[in-house]
Structure 1
């Protein structure tokens, strides 16, 4: 018997696949938002069904089990982060302009609550930093790529003479900048206030100035940080 799909079957198969992909995207939108607030460890098929209105059986059909759901949620959170923070920054030349754009977009990503719970990865990292397994592997891979990308931009800036890091070093500055953001994200969530983002942006600008940056290149970090 031939295994080829007939012309009559194709639209039905394609239609089912399209509906399944649409359902998966919709469910993951709920999942990433929920995980940003409640953490990834508590994200289960039952809890997601309750929050999204989808049935447990339909969610189980899409993700198989809790671990599959959690890993898919990490991947979905990573895709949003790339679209909101990284891809727009790539419009700038690599090095200092792109580094400043990354920090600016990063602050706005949390401040405007792209996810209800602020930074998705700040929320989920705390759940799995000491729990080996595929979920922690997915979180670590995403965070390693992000931190590595920041370090690459710092290195490009130093190599181009846009920063002078002889006294501090690339690795240290690449650690300090996201650390300022992470603290701003945590304090803003705790106190319900945008002021930590202002402080973080000022501190980033000051740190880059002390590293030899041209002040004009840091203009994005001076934008107002109020209103959503």
Structure 2
């Protein structure tokens, strides 16, 4: 059908715009996104880009969804492939630090950055950021709880997950601000020591 080509082109353009949008937002924040800026940078029609998203807020929400899919592909999905318990818990921490250190997003961890930007701003964008970040925190808690249930570690799973999350976020923030990789090394050493201390 003639319309199928237009739909396919529209989907391809949407993917292109969102790939650029997640990179821009990781550095300049979601507030730094604009339909006009993305159209100009990608040499696309402004009206065409506007037709894909309709508003800045819809663009922001779509950018969060796109970033979450990228994050999951680099961190959560590979970690889920590991055996449950301590192997999976180690894997998710390593994958998360690797993802931030390799600058999958140029601004470091997308959700650490936009979380700080929108933590005190109510609304749909705040709620979407909170839900995305919360889903990763829940995965960490689930992985820690499995490690406890399987007898791999003897500790409070919720506290352990909170500590691991805090170490990863600190490494990202310090590395992005300081421009060097030492915080990732420190976080890896701290995480390994924490898991070793709680292992049975």
- Of the three residues 6, 22, 39, the one matched with 1:32 is 22
Displacement after TM superposition at 1:52 (Å): 2.8
Give the unaligned 5+ runs of structure 2. Answer: none
SS at match of 1:80: helix
Aligned length, in residue pairs: 200
> Could you tell me how far apart the structure 1 residues matched to 2:182 and 2:60 are?
32
* Alignment correspondent of 2:4: 14
When residues 209 and 80 of structure 1 are mapped into structure 2, their CA distance, relative to the original with a 3 A threshold, is same
Q: Is the 8 Å Cα contact of residues 41 and 128 (structure 1) preserved in structure 2?
A: no
Partner Cα distance (1:95, 1:31) in 2: 36
Matches within 5 A, 1:71-86: 71-86=61-76
Find the aligned partners of 2:188 and 2:166 in 1 and give their Cα distance: 12
Which whole-Å deviations, capped at 9, do the CAs of 1:118-175 have from their partners, x for residues lacking one? 101011111211111111111111111110011001000001000001xxx1111111
Identify the range of structure 1 (66-75 vs 47-56) with the bigger mean alpha-carbon deviation: 47-56
Q: Which has the higher helix share?
A: 2
Q: Is the 8 A contact 1:121 1:139 kept in 2?
A: yes
Give how far 1:55 is off. Answer: 2.8
Matched residue, 1:141: 131
Aligned to 1:225: none
Map 1:123-162 to 2 at 5 A.
Answer: 123-162=113-152
**Structure 1 residue 29 displacement after superposition:** 0.5
**Larger of the two Rg values belongs to structure:** 1
| Match of residue 176 from structure 2 | 189
User: CA offset at residue 49 of structure 1?
Assistant: 2.5
For 2:174 and 2:46, locate their aligned partners in 1 and report how far apart those are by CA, in whole Å: 35
Q: Select the residue among 139, 152, 161 that pairs with 1:174.
A: 161
- TM-score (ref. length: structure 1): 0.85
- Indicate the larger mover: 177-186 or 43-52: 43-52
Contact 1:162/1:212 (<8 A) preserved: yes
Give secondary structure in 2 for the equivalent of 1:41: helix
Match of 1:200 among 164, 187, 194: 187
SS at match of 2:30: coil
